[in-house]
Amino acid sequence: MLEQPISMHADLTLIIIATTIAALVLLITALLLASIVRRVLNDRMYGKLDALRHEYGRRLSQVLETEGIAVRAEAFQTKPGSLAWQAVEDVLFAIVSEGKYDKKGRALFQRFGYVAFYEEQLAGRNVLARASAIDKLGRMRCTSSTPKLLPLLEERDPEILAVTVRALSRIGTKEALAAIIGRLPALLGGSLVTRKAMETALLNFGETAIPYLIGHHWERADPWIISCILETLSHLAPDARSVSLAIEHLHSPNSEVRSKALKVLGRAKANVPRHLAELVLPLLEDPVWFVRLQAAISVGTLMLTEAAGPLGKLLFDKNWHVRRQAALALTRFGHAAIDIFHEALLTSDGYAKESVCEEIEKAGFSDWLVANLGGSDGQLRTKSRDILTIMQRLHFSTPLIEYLANGVDERIKQEIRSFLTDGRKP
């Protein structure tokens, strides 16, 4: 920007700046034109596509109503990659997702050549195009594509592997399931597919997955594979075989496996063995906090009232998640828990007492205690009163205040007034 004698150097600088400006002007113009052209082309393309979707949608609905899949394929034969091709594909996907003509729609993908086209794309080199083809085959749920997709489980590209696992899980064939389970150690071991993605995919297979998940020989498998299997089983319908696998791993040296095994048992209400309490109760004293946590959840869900005592000890656990969960589990036991709560609230552990009070309130156990104040069982009334008194001393008095404001039984109100001393007014 400074005055300089006319020199070659100054001229060169000027030329460079001017050239850069010219290049920028060109780039701006190019971007502007590209935006305009793209918008024009997109508007035109999507306009046509919408019209085609509408047209093919109408025609396909008609023929599915009347002819089923005996539809003349030539009437819907379109050039791969064309707008009509895209429109028919979109319409078929919509038909399949609606559910009414699910099977017919899927069969039409095959008849109209979509399956063959995307299967050919699997051999390509472009990762994005291949992944997209795999995904579409999965969404078409064409079982005949399974053998074409299975070799892709041997690939090393995480993107291709993740999409393949998902596509196979949507197709849901037994071969696919067996292949995925067989490759599980390699897929998870090499971090090629994340555990969450794998568990989500395995769940897509539904209950058909259970025998495969259980039947595989996991004896020598890594613990995190077993915990993945158990986690998946815990979300599937409770099954006697899942329960026995869980029991088998209940005392695994790996804490995560123990915790997942407890999770399976907690959800398998109908198929639990009689001696379950004997198996589960020791885990309430497990050295690892999240195993104790899961044990508390499971005994609560299973209503194992024999666990009331050990759960009472967990009210003083060093981990607050465990304390809260133990309190919540106890609230489910109703009458059986009242002595435990009473005892717990008489101790000096402030943290434990607060956890207990919160769960008593959240679970609605406090409403039951308040109702007991007007009951005829003298012992129960005294215990309930004691618990509520301690709760209000710890500033967990909202249920009492609420009852005074909205309750109907004068006897209970009178009782509450007699011990509500923390200065809080309704």
Span interacting with another protein, options 114-122, 179-187, 392-400, 410-418, rule CB under 8 A: 392-400
Residue with tokens 């059986």: 336
3 binds another protein (CB under 8 A): yes
DSSP 152: G
Question: Between 350 and 389, how does the x/- string for binding to another protein read (CB under 8 A)?
Answer: ----xx-xx--xx---------------------------
List the interface residues with another protein, window 39-68 (CB under 8 A). Answer: 39, 42
- Residue 236 vs 276, nearer CB to another protein: 236
Q: What is the dihedral of CA 403, 404, 408, 412, to 10 degrees?
A: 90
Which residue among 166, 249, 263, 385 contacts another protein (CB under 8 A)?
A: 166
Minimum distance from CB of 412 to another protein (Å)? 19
CB atoms within 10 A of CB 369: 23
Span interacting with another protein, options 154-162, 271-279, 298-306, 381-389, rule CB under 8 A: 154-162
Minimum distance from CB of 391 to another protein (Å)? 8
Which residue among 9, 12, 31, 240 contacts another protein (CB under 8 A)?
A: 31
DSSP 190: T
Q: Give the sign of the dihedral formed by CA 101, CA 143, CA 200, CA 191.
A: negative
- Buried/exposed code over 38-49 (b: 16+ C-beta within 10 A; e: otherwise): eeeeeeeeeeeb
- Residue 169 vs 372, nearer CB to another protein: 169
Q: Is 198 within 8 Å of 188 (Cβ atoms)?
A: yes
21 binds another protein (CB under 8 A): yes
Which residue among 116, 203, 214, 279 contacts another protein (CB under 8 A)?
A: 203
Distances from the Cα of 284 to the Cαs of 9, 260, 278, 290, 324, in angstroms? 83, 14, 11, 10, 14
- Residue 62 vs 347, nearer CB to another protein: 347
Q: Is 403 within 8 Å of 420 (Cβ atoms)?
A: no
Which residue among 113, 158, 374, 426 contacts another protein (CB under 8 A)?
A: 158
3-state SS of 209-273? HHHHHHHCCCCCCCHHHHHHHHHHHHHCCCCHHHHHHHHHCCCCCCHHHHHHHHHHHHHCHHHCC
402 binds another protein (CB under 8 A): yes
Question: CB-based contacts of 96: which residues, under 8 Å, 6+ apart?
Answer: 102, 105, 106, 139, 140, 141
Span interacting with another protein, options 11-19, 257-265, 293-301, 377-385, rule CB under 8 A: 11-19
- Residue 4 vs 382, nearer CB to another protein: 4
Q: Summarize as ranges the residues that interact with another protein (CB under 8 A).
A: 1-4, 10, 13-14, 17-18, 20-21, 24-25, 27-28, 31-32, 34-36, 38-39, 42, 128, 131-132, 134-136, 158-159, 162-163, 166, 191-192, 194, 196-197, 199-201, 203-204, 231, 235, 320, 324, 354-355, 357-358, 361-362, 395-398, 402
